[in-house]
């Protein structure tokens, strides 16, 4: 089995990982209650989608 | 490789998967709207759409048989009930009341819809395993754009009411019909 010839430094690994970045989830505005929500999802705040009440949120 | 093979395995064996989908399809036809994961909803859609089309076409055959005139009274009765299609659907839907609902009520309601009887709405991720959840509903039983309030989010779970189904099913169906108009007026309250 091939193996690494030399250990590499913490810096080297960390430098490589500077390109590992989390991206923020896309957000869209609920046309009914104007809070931010995930696109193409029923609004978790008011339970509306496409102008229609789909679910009744637990907190309301 | 699963190249060009359709359908999800849902991490189940073939028999377990069949049982799950039968249960989900039965629940959807009974309640007209169920809450499940997106993957299961999409699989259920594949099963249920075909059943509804089957029932709808059986109704059409029923109409043409009436025109031609069936050979006997018994044959006529058989065709009117949905004929062989009804028996084949009953292999998957074990609840007779639900089969009756499908052939008598649902097939009639969707008669003019060229497929696309179901609607899937994504709800976001569930707490616990972060599975994407969805509501799947029969379009013609969940009024288009008008607000329809839902009695909280506790619709039938996939394996749910097998035990009480046979006795209660008829009542449930009737109740669902009865509560539908009431629900239409409810959203103003919330
Ligand atoms: Zn909202």
**B1 within domain boundaries:** no
* Mean pLDDT value of segment B29-51: 96
**B8 within domain boundaries:** no
Contact A53 B124 (CB under 8 A): no
Both B74 and B157 in one domain: the answer is no
Task: Report how far ligand 1's centroid is from the alpha carbon of A27 (Å).
Answer: 12
pLDDT, chain A, mean: 92
Both B131 and B179 in one domain: the answer is no
Preferred mutation among A41, A49, A51, A59 to probe B, highest tally of B CBs within 10 A: A41
Domain positions in chain A: 26-60
**B6 within domain boundaries:** no
Both B77 and B20 in one domain: the answer is yes
Span B144-160, pLDDT tens digits: 545 545 544 444 333 43
Residue span of the structural domain in which B44 resides:
14-138
pLDDT exceeds cutoff 80 at B41:
yes
The number of distinct structural domains making up chain B is 2
Q: How far is B121 from chain A (nearest CA, A)?
A: 7
End-of-domain residue from the set B121, B138, B155? B138
Residues of A in contact with B125 (CB under 8 A): none
Higher-pLDDT residue of A56, B53: B53
Both B29 and B88 in one domain: the answer is yes
pLDDT exceeds cutoff 50 at B169:
no
Both B161 and B174 in one domain: the answer is yes
Both B147 and B132 in one domain: the answer is no
pLDDT, chain B, mean: 79
Q: How far apart are CA B171 and CA B167, in angstroms?
A: 8
* HEC profile of chain B: CCCCCCCCCCCCCHHHHHHHHHHHHHHHHHHCEEEEEHHHHHHHHHHHHHHHHHHHHHHHHHHHHHHHCCCCHHHHHHHHCCHHHHHHHHCCCCCHHHHHHHHHHHHHHCCCCCCCCEEEEEEEECCCCCCEEEEEEEHHHCCCCCCCCCCCCCCCCCCCCCCCHHHHHHHHHHHHHHHHHHHHHHHHCC
Q: How far is A7 from chain B (nearest CA, A)?
A: 37
Both B131 and B169 in one domain: the answer is no
pTM of the model: 0.74
Nearest CB among B122, B149, B151 relative to A40 is that of: B122
């Amino acid at each position: 089995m091939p193996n690494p010839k030399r250990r590499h430094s913490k810096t080297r690994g960390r430098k490589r990982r500077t390109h590992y970045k989390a991206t923020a989830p896309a957000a869209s505005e609920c046309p009914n209650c104007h809070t931010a929500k995930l696109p193409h999802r029923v609004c978790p705040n008011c339970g509306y989608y496409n102008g229609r009440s789909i679910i009744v949120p637990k907190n309301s | 490789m699963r190249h060009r093979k359709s359908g999800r395995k849902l991490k189940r064996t073939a028999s377990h998967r069949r049982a799950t989908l039968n249960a989900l399809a039965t629940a959807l036809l009974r309640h007209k709207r169920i809450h499940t994961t997106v993957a299961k909803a999409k699989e259920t859609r594949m099963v249920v759409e075909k059943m509804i089309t089957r029932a709808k076409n059986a109704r059409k055959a029923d109409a043409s048989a009436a025109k031609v005139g069936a050979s006997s009274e018994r044959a006529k009765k058989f065709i009117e009930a949905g004929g062989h299609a009804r028996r084949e659907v009953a292999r998957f839907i074990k609840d007779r009341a639900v089969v009756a609902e499908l052939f008598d009520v649902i097939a009639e309601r969707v008669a003019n819809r060229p497929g696309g009887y179901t609607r899937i709405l994504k709800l976001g991720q569930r707490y616990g395993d972060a599975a994407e959840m969805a509501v799947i509903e029969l379009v013609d039983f969940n009024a288009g754009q008008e607000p329809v309030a839902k009695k909280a989010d506790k619709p039938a779970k996939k394996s749910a009411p097998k035990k009480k189904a046979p006795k209660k099913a008829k009542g449930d169906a009737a109740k669902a019909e009865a509560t539908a108009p009431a629900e239409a007026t409810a959203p103003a309250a919330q």
